[in-house]
Amino acid sequence: MNKTALITGASGGIGLELAKIHAAHGDNLVLVARNLSKLNKLKSEIEKGQHVSVTVIGKDLSLTDAAIEVYNELSKQNIQIDYLINNAGFGNYGMFDETSWDKEQQMINLNVTALTQFCKLFVRDMVKRGGGKIMNVASTASFQPGPGMAVYYATKAYVLHFSEAINNELRRKGITVTALCPGATESGFSAAASMEDSKLFKDKKLPTSEDVAWYGYKAMMKGKAVAIHGMMNYLMANSVRFAPRSWVVSMVRSIQVKN
């Protein structure tokens, strides 16, 4: 019997590549994103090439109760979720006193609230069945504060710590939770966050979304708690623990400054 993976933010970037990977492994899919036309195009491509079923749900997960609406819709269709992948998220560049609260509230709703509610809803079903896997997409931003993207970095710190905690709680019940922590990636994130000209992205050869997706998939299937993509990212993420925090914050700011 085919297993089913629910992937949020599946219309592009890492989420789209994860959809292709799961389909190639014979998993049915539930794809969630705001852009329904892109989801339908991906559904058509996957179902032509793979013997799997694809359910698409057009939903803005930054809206209140969006996660419970998705859950209820799947319950009505008797679709069981074996792999929950919380990939949807976005960032916003700018100093905190200059950025838009509306956009930051949407970011918190999507990066934190929807992710947490999806876990709450589907974990209980997984516990009843005695198994399941979750992957929450965090970031190398999870490991330190980020001047210039203060709210984004804070939301990703939440994702990392939350994922590690519930992984510890749930592992004995047959469920693993993986926090995938990619660094800068060719995924459309930089354009959405207005960061193309920052030192973090400009003139850099970045890993592709496909590279990160494969790394994340393998880490989730192994039940790895924290998966940091790339050796340099791994070293940087761990080295900040041994440096003065004031130095770390200043370093992050200098990296993110636009040229």
Render pLDDT for 159-177 as a digit per residue (tens, 0 to 9).
999 999 999 999 999 999 9
Closest by alpha carbon to 58, among 10, 15, 18? 10
Is residue 156 a contact partner of residue 199, using CB atoms and an 8 Å limit?
no
48-99 per-position pLDDT tens digit: 989 999 999 999 999 999 999 999 999 999 999 999 999 999 999 999 999 9
> Region 1-23: what's the mean pLDDT?
97
Is residue 219 a contact partner of residue 133, using CB atoms and an 8 Å limit?
no
What are the residue numbers of the active site? 152
CA distance 121 to 249: 36
Q: Please report the pLDDT score of residue 94 as a whole number.
A: 94
pTM value is 0.89
Segments making up each domain of the chain, as ranges: 4-256
Closest by alpha carbon to 139, among 107, 117, 172? 107
Is residue 172 a contact partner of residue 164, using CB atoms and an 8 Å limit?
no
Closest by alpha carbon to 132, among 79, 74, 83? 83
Is residue 191 a contact partner of residue 170, using CB atoms and an 8 Å limit?
no
Residue 120 tokens, joined:
């709450």
Confidence of residue 213 (pLDDT cuts 50, 70, 90): very high
Tell me which of 30-39, 116-125, 187-196 is least confident.
187-196
**Kindly report the CA angle at 167 between 150 and 122, in degrees rounded to 5?**
90
Residue 149 tokens, joined:
């993207």
Q: Identify the sign of the CA torsion 224, 227, 230, 234.
A: negative
Angle between helices 209-222 and 13-24 (to 10 degrees): 50
Round the average pLDDT of the chain to a whole number and report it.
Answer: 92
Alpha-carbon distances of 183 from 30, 103, 146, 171, rounded to whole Å = 26, 22, 13, 26
CA distance 15 to 201: 20
For domain 4-256, the CATH class is alpha beta
